[in-house]
Amino acid sequence: MTISKRTYRLQIMLKAEELAVLDAWRFDRRMPSRSDAVRELLRLGRDTPGQDRDRPEKSVDFGVIDSPVD
């Protein structure tokens, strides 16, 4: 069996609270790294039904946790 090498890097910016949520999710599942956790969350999101619902239009509207309204 050939194991493919990961050759692409993806950098994202998170708020401290978002990182805490990611780390808590990762540790609850005993995942070895943040990268593995993000890959698993991407897979879960991809496989979730209902992908055609309305999407926010601005990047500030996307987040890991609900943000309080200013």
Express each pLDDT in 11-66 by its tens digit: 999 999 999 999 999 999 999 999 999 999 999 988 887 655 666 667 777 777 77
What is d(CA 51, CA 5) in angstroms, rounded to the nearest whole number?
29
> So what's the pLDDT on residue 25?
96
Residue type, 25: W
> So what's the pLDDT on residue 32?
96
To 10 degrees, what angle do helices 16-28 and 34-47 make?
Answer: 90
With cut-offs at 50, 70 and 90, classify the pLDDT of residue 3.
Answer: confident
Are residues 18 and 63 in contact, defined by beta-carbon separation less than 8 angstroms? yes
What is d(CA 49, CA 52) in angstroms, rounded to the nearest whole number?
9
What SS3 state is found at 1?
coil
> So what's the pLDDT on residue 55?
67
